[in-house]
Amino acid sequence: MDTFEVLKKLSEASGVSGSESGVSQIVAEEFKKYVDELRTDALGNVIGLKKGTEPSPRRIMLAAHMDEIGLMVSEIEKGFIRFTTVGGIDDRILLGQEVIVHGLKPLPGVIASKPPHLLSPEERKKVTPRDQLFVDVGLPEEEVKALVRVGDFISFAAKCVRLQGDMASGKAFDDRASVAALICCLEHLSQMKHRWDVYAVATSQEEMGLKGAIVSAYGIAPDLAIAIDVGFGDSPGIPEAETVKVGKGPAIAIGPNFHPILREALVKTAQELEIPYQIEAIPGPSGTDAWAIQVSREGVPTALLSIPLRYMHTPVETLSLKDIERTGLLLAHFISRLEKFPPE
């Protein structure tokens, strides 16, 4: 699989939380190549089942969220579009950003505000408050009213690009990089034997409160779960203590959210296969699907792999493609070796 091509397809698709159909179609196409059964549930989770070889297979659930943060039309004022946020948007990246308004048809637009010449010096130093921003699609008022309604989703229009070495940048790498890793894992598994049933889940609405994970985990009732998300990659201005290193492999998380034996088994697999990995200490809620899955029904032993990512929640998220491949490889080998859990 061409990691960059898959990542690019996923990244450039539109799939804001609550309206993931633009990306879920792509995910379904990719999953179909490797899974035995595919379904979509009530909240839009895409669930692929790749069957295992044992007679009554136990179940492992892999979760990566396909939704992205974005915006939503809240009001139309003289042809200009006011908006609210969907998920945790950093207000600082809004001004001047290119977007797509998903009305009756996709409309390119820009996020605009008063020109700087008209601002006082103090105003210029501050981040423009959201209620002074609007989206301009360049069309006359009547056309806008005919094509756009309150509640229409707005996604960022950002190209996915290759940078130097094996680095890449684009929007929604949180968490489509992990979806790519999941697809990579499935591709490896199609060449390997595994005893357990693998439920590959591209979850929905993670950015709205882990919603897809809550209901898909309930529906699947897995025996084990591994969530794949992104972690804060090292970059200037952030203390090293709070980041993981880009290009040094997935971070395996340690903390109350994660089952110690499952975590150790992942570390062991990485060590035996000489796959680079890092350890990330998370003392409380992980802010990922893992937090929801761990307490589903009677509890699920859960682990988290994080792909190091710079500039999270901006349209220029940046990572190392190798880290995606390493994550996919680690998952596949771990799954193919799964027999009893806990191991004797």
31 contact partners, CB below 8 Å, separation of at least 6: 38, 46, 48, 183, 186, 200, 202
Q: Does 208 bind other proteins (CB under 8 A)?
A: yes
Cβ closest to other proteins, residue 2 vs residue 298: 298
- What minimum distance in Å lies between the beta carbon of 2 and other proteins? 33
175 contact partners, CB below 8 Å, separation of at least 6: 64, 65, 66, 206, 228, 229, 230
Report the site for other proteins in 78-107 (rule: CB under 8 A). 82, 84, 86
- What minimum distance in Å lies between the beta carbon of 84 and other proteins? 6
In this structure, what DSSP letter does residue 241 have? G
Count of chain residues binding other proteins (CB under 8 A) = 50
Query: Strands 153-156, 134-136: parallel, antiparallel or unpaired by DSSP?
Result: unpaired
- R_g of the chain computed on alpha carbons: 21
Q: From edge to edge, which strands make up the β-sheet containing 302-309? A: 37-40, 46-50, 197-203, 59-65, 224-232, 302-309, 251-254, 278-281
Q: Does 281 bind other proteins (CB under 8 A)?
A: yes
- What minimum distance in Å lies between the beta carbon of 319 and other proteins? 21
Q: Does 42 bind other proteins (CB under 8 A)?
A: yes
Q: Does 219 bind other proteins (CB under 8 A)?
A: yes
What size, in residues, is the chain? 344
Is residue 98 annotated as a catalytic residue, yes or no?
Answer: no
Q: Does 255 bind other proteins (CB under 8 A)?
A: yes
Cβ closest to other proteins, residue 216 vs residue 318: 216
Q: Does 9 bind other proteins (CB under 8 A)?
A: no
- What minimum distance in Å lies between the beta carbon of 246 and other proteins? 16
Among 118, 274, 283, 340, which residue interacts with other proteins (rule: CB under 8 A)?
283
Q: Which residues of 276-285 are buried (b: 16+ CB within 10 A; e: fewer)?
A: ebbebebeee
For other proteins, which stretch binds (CB under 8 A), given 93-101, 183-191, 255-263, 329-337? 255-263
Assigned token pair, 19 = 């309206």
Q: Does 271 bind other proteins (CB under 8 A)?
A: no
Among 240, 274, 340, 344, which residue interacts with other proteins (rule: CB under 8 A)?
240
- Say if CB 331 and CB 62 are below 8 A apart: yes
Assigned token pair, 264 = 């150790």
Q: Does 17 bind other proteins (CB under 8 A)?
A: yes
Binding site for other proteins (CB under 8 A): 17-19, 41-43, 45, 72-76, 82, 84, 86, 131, 149-151, 205, 208-209, 211, 214-216, 218-219, 239-242, 254-257, 259, 279-281, 283-285, 294-295, 297-301
**Annotated catalytic sites, by residue?**
206
